[in-house]
Structure 1
């Protein structure tokens, strides 16, 4: 509000470069630990170059990021300053993409580009800072306000549960440090550095978990508080646990299921019904038989397969498919799309199994009777009673896989490892990146990604002919 009262401000060239540097560091640091594939960042650079070809495209492509940051800094620019700023933002985004491409290729040498950006000093900029009210709100109280706000209506119960655990840990740490939980505005970066040190040393939590779990939750809530004028700044901004090469141990955790493990798991699943106890829930027996095979040929998340209903298996555009939808339970991206079934699944009798199954969920039994409206936010806080049984099935599937793929401490996740394997195999056999992303429900980085996954369905069907069969007999 102070910025609007003052009116548009002219930024110096140095200030434009400095503000662009904030966006550079945000992008470069957030993806540094897990940059993905190098080709992704080349596509980003190509998209940036196309966007920089005209003022209109620059405004559409870079404007929203600039506006969000300017709002946080309490700045309203004049027209010429904005044009100059967007040019610097375009350069910064390209520099960040180039840096992340190097990281993806295994080059983590010190980043010389970051040194070209001056440090932002709001107090000396001549631009008024936005006023915020922190009052006596503690981090716990901010989290409770965040949780009740309409913005969070679409947040999944599992996310709420994980955030709740983070803020409980943070409160316990602050109470031990100060004797009582201090107010959020009084916290400093040193408090958060000490918190993540404690999580690393005492709780033995990995750097990736700290960055992508603890700090992601804290920053989501504190940045929301800044946007809502409940805080002036986010005291945790920029705090990060550095993931250094070899720091997580000499035997870094492998994410992808290898060929031998894949065959062992699928053989174990194929023969399971004949070995199952008569007392075991038939739906769990079916899950052990079919879920590993479905993940092997689709790259889908284990929960999205384990919550399939009979009605979710049906022809789509002339080919048998499974539908991934939030109506069945929970979907990470809250989207709905279809995945074609590999011919090998059909030959094994999956469609026959579906035809004989009762209506409803095929691999779990919902328990709405266990839901309490006044229950604390958790994975089971679901009136439909799906999420609790779903988590149980996922856990039992992991135990089932561990029977033939022992946990050596640095091996892949028994369930999630299939997603990494599917994408690796698809890349090996020349399947287009956008099609691979459509199977796995991963975000797109190109113009083609503006189309929905179902628009790529024909390409997904064609891709199945390239995915080799698993011969485990």
Structure 2
């Protein structure tokens, strides 16, 4: 692509965002956050995991390219599809950079409008008009062949995928109904039900229309958006990556915060945590003795650590870790859940490694019984007497560990890796190799002890 074509496409993105939100620009904070995100992407600081990487020149270039692709890739795809273009990697990166610059300008204009300042309309002639390439330019045949694919087509194929083969697990009718309902509402809002042409802008516009209607709770709006995102993800997989090869456009649609029990109410107090840990010291059953302590110092879900085996524990450069894995038929919540967790010094002081060593003769046998989670929950409620209704006996450790990690100054990317938290900024490919382990251990050591005796 030529320099002029790149700037012209960036200009079309700018004009689309300024025009679409002229009447209802939304909240000022939304555009301020958008501006901050693009500023971070321009310097490779959008993805928190990058904080753990050595800032060499090559790494910095890769960070910037990764962040720009994540933030602006769907916008670039929309522009390229509009003119039936396929471009090389170098031109694409330049286009992503110019779209990011343009989006910062659009965010400033819309932020001012959201605060009631319409003195700058956003109209500008600084962007050139796009001039299409010669008629014999290559067309994206694979993408065009999918253009007639509807949401119902995608759902129908997913139903078939779920129902075929031995020991199949068909999709429940209620689940199917919720996906069709969300897809139908989104299709009505945008005016068609073709999957291939979905854009992030349409998703965000739909979200704000649900806000404006005032009929749905934040929880329901968030679920509707997630359901459509899931259908688009199915379409990507069904097309083997031909649709939206650079990412799901709904990844950029920020879901509203959900209502319900406040996080602080679901979290153990330090007094409750200390009461459980002291009580655990007196237990002889392995699950009661060790699972509360492991959850307290990792924020792991109890169903992730209850199946631990001796051969999941290992040493690297003098420090101790354990693997949370799907090996041996074990199941985890999602791709982010498979990880390596550093063992906090307090767990070592308590004698966890000695406990594991006693079972080394049976390296592939579980350390804890199959009903370990239920046993611990019942013990916490009935014997330790932690009866507060908002608390989940096992999951509340997850909330408390994250709070302790934040208070200790643990960087977000390390906290997400240690807890297996799936976020928009998380990357399933990071934090799995040995090179990341010392950084994670360094961050784990920041977490202060629960007990001082």
TM-score (norm. length: structure 2) = 0.57
Specify the alignment match of 2:404 in structure 1: 425
Q: Classify 1:88/1:468 alpha carbon distance in 2 versus 1 (closer, same or farther; 3 Å).
A: same
Q: Classify 1:405/1:208 alpha carbon distance in 2 versus 1 (closer, same or farther; 3 Å).
A: farther
Aligned pairs for 1:180-259 within 5 A: 206-207=219-220, 210=223, 213-222=226-235, 224=237, 243=256, 248=259, 252-254=262-264, 256-259=267-270
Bigger RCO of structures 1 and 2 (CA < 8 A, at least 6 apart)? 2
Specify the alignment match of 1:266 in structure 2: 277
Q: Classify 1:434/1:169 alpha carbon distance in 2 versus 1 (closer, same or farther; 3 Å).
A: closer
Could you tell me how far apart the structure 2 residues matched to 1:241 and 1:441 are? 20
Q: After TM superposition, give the deviation of residue 146 of structure 1 in Å.
A: 6.2
Could you tell me how far apart the structure 1 residues matched to 2:351 and 2:95 are? 60
Could you tell me how far apart the structure 2 residues matched to 1:269 and 1:19 are? 58
Deviations 1:125-146 (A, max 9, x none): 9899935344895554132356
* Contact 2:14 2:105 (8 Å CA) reproduced: no
* Contact 2:302 2:395 (8 Å CA) reproduced: yes
3-state SS in 2 of match to 1:206: helix
3-state SS in 2 of match to 1:468: coil
Deviations 1:198-234 (A, max 9, x none): xx989x9934761575344233235556787899xxx
Specify the alignment match of 2:349 in structure 1: 347
3-state SS in 2 of match to 1:361: coil
Specify the alignment match of 2:365 in structure 1: 360
Deviations 1:168-223 (A, max 9, x none): 44458999xxxxxxx9659x999x99xx99xx989x99347615753442332355
| Unmatched 5+ stretches in structure 1 | 1-6, 103-108, 119-124, 150-156, 176-182, 274-284, 366-391
Q: Classify 1:72/1:437 alpha carbon distance in 2 versus 1 (closer, same or farther; 3 Å).
A: same
Q: Classify 1:184/1:16 alpha carbon distance in 2 versus 1 (closer, same or farther; 3 Å).
A: closer
Could you tell me how far apart the structure 1 residues matched to 2:441 and 2:63 are? 34
Greater CA deviation, 415-424 or 75-84? 75-84
Specify the alignment match of 2:438 in structure 1: 458
* Contact 2:307 2:368 (8 Å CA) reproduced: yes
Q: Classify 1:223/1:292 alpha carbon distance in 2 versus 1 (closer, same or farther; 3 Å).
A: same
3-state SS in 2 of match to 1:141: helix
3-state SS in 1 of match to 2:368: coil
Specify the alignment match of 1:75 in structure 2: 84
* Contact 1:9 1:76 (8 Å CA) reproduced: no
Could you tell me how far apart the structure 2 residues matched to 1:270 and 1:97 are? 55
Deviations 1:401-453 (A, max 9, x none): 45544454xx4654344334323323323444554444334579799x96755
Deviations 1:314-345 (A, max 9, x none): 43332333222221523433686543323332
* Contact 1:72 1:227 (8 Å CA) reproduced: no
* Contact 1:139 1:171 (8 Å CA) reproduced: no
| Unmatched 5+ stretches in structure 2 | 21-25, 47-54, 125-130, 134-138, 185-191
Could you tell me how far apart the structure 1 residues matched to 2:93 and 2:67 are? 13
* Contact 1:308 1:363 (8 Å CA) reproduced: yes
Aligned mate of 1:16, from 1, 10, 19: 10
Aligned pairs for 1:413-452 within 5 A: 413-441=392-420, 452=432
Could you tell me how far apart the structure 2 residues matched to 1:269 and 1:230 are? 52
* Contact 1:256 1:421 (8 Å CA) reproduced: yes
3-state SS in 1 of match to 2:398: helix
Q: After TM superposition, give the deviation of residue 293 of structure 1 in Å.
A: 0.8
Aligned residues: 375
Specify the alignment match of 1:317 in structure 2: 317
